[in-house]
Structures are given as structure tokens and as C-alpha cells.
Chains A and B, each alone.
Chain A
Amino acid sequence: GQQLNQSPQSMFIQEGEDVSMNCTSSSIFNTWLWYKQDPGEGPVLLIALYKAGELTSNGRLTAQFGTTKKDSFLNISASIPSDVGIYFCAGQSNAGNMLTFGGGTRLMVKP
């Protein structure tokens, strides 16, 4: 099945640094979602975006729905050790209920 192109695949950063990751697709999506998976757990929804150009924040996290509807971005400011995990983007069209997932970005934070 189709996967979104998510980059980078992994990041190893210093505590306090800002983080950016993105997802791109060849198809249009009407909803973009960002999930975080803590080690040994299932993914948990962080942010949902429903409108092109929308910018939404959740604490230190900010996500944007690209104006072309083919991409989305997630930024994390002032990273802390508990930000460690895998971040997944997901797109959802109106054609059905299926989510299309990115391959994930593994974030590691050095204290």
C-alpha cells in the first residue's frame, strides 16, 4: 500500500534543540494527523489538522497542514528527554476511512 514520505528517518539531538520533520505525498489528503509512539507502547494522537494552511499547536509541538494538501510539518521546540520516541504522520482522504502512514521519524534526545 501507499506510504507517505516522512523525513528524516531518525534524528539524534541535544536537549533544548528544536526539531522539524515533514511528510509529503503524491496524493491530496483532507486530514493530516501526527502521532507519537513511546518505546513499547502504541501510537498516541498528538495533533489533527483539517484545513489547508492550518497551523495548530499542542504545547511545544506545532504542526502545519500544507497549502497544497500534499504535505505536513511537525516542529518541536526546546526538546526534552521525554520527547524520545517515534513520530508518525498520517493522511486521511474522504474516499474512505483508511489512514495512510508515514514511515516514522525516530527521535533521540541527548540530555
Chain B
Amino acid sequence: DVKVTQSSRYLVKRTGEKVFLECVQDMDHENMFWYRQDPGLGLRLIYFSYDVKMKEKGDIPEGYSVSREKKERFSLILESASTNQTSMYLCASSVGTGYGYTFGSGTRLTVV
């Protein structure tokens, strides 16, 4: 089974810090995604990538950037963390159209 691994389950960061959330998948999937999940708002897409060094903005990219230097790794960067970025962050990958996503276990980020 494909595995999507997020480097941290829980993170606490201070306002203004630069934060890196790492995601690695082990099944050679082309597509990778970052979502945030907040109560009552469902899953909101931040950024996605269809290939190495390729990135596309999702629905809520403001305050975030991403990096995909290798096919298996997709990093989400909070350039200057703010308290409204406190959330559950989910990484996912997929092999292509018609296939579902495989999600990581999530990173619960608290910005204080």
C-alpha cells in the first residue's frame, strides 16, 4: 500500500516564525496536494503539484508557499506564521485521473 508520511504529528510555533511541513510518499505518484482542515470548513486546498518543480495554487494559497524538488517530497512553507494558520494540515498524493488520493496522518499546527 502507498504510504504518505508527514514528518510531524504536532507542532507549536511562534508568530512570525518560518515553518516547514514535510510530506513524503513512497509510490512514485505524480500528484501531491496540501490541504488544511478546520471545523465547519471541510478540506480546503492550499497548493498542489503535478510534477517535480511544478506547483499550482489552490483555493487558499495566501501566506503559504511550496517546494517540490524531488518527486517523492512536497513541502509546505509558512513564510511568517500567524495565529490564523493554526489548523490541521493534510498532505495527499495520487497516481492520476480516476484514482482517489492517499492522505497522510496530518500535522496539527498551533501558532502562538
**Chain A interface residues (CB < 8 Å from chain B):** 1, 3, 30-31, 33, 35, 40-45, 48, 50, 88, 90, 92, 94, 96-99, 101-104
Report A22 CB to chain B, min CB distance, Å: 16
* Residue B97 interfacial (CB < 8 Å): yes
18 sampled A-B residue pairs with Cβ under 8 A: A1-B44, A3-B42, A30-B98, A42-B90, A42-B106, A45-B100, A45-B101, A45-B102, A50-B98, A88-B42, A90-B101, A92-B97, A92-B98, A96-B97, A97-B94, A98-B45, A99-B100, A103-B40
Which residues of B does A touch, CB under 8 Å? 4, 31, 40-45, 48, 50, 58-59, 90, 92, 94, 96-98, 100-106, 108
> Which residues on B sit within 8 Å (CB–CB) of A33?
100
Are B42 and A102 touching (Cβ within 8 A)? yes
Is B43 a contact of A88 with CB atoms below 8 Å? yes
Contact call A1/B106, Cβ cutoff below 8 A: no
A92 neighbours in B (Cβ, 8 Å): 97-98, 100
Task: Please give the distance in Å from A92's CB to the nearest CB on chain B.
Answer: 7
CA A41 to CA B96, docked complex, whole Å: 24
A9–B43 CA distance with the chains assembled, in angstroms: 14
Min CB distance B57 to A, Å, is 11
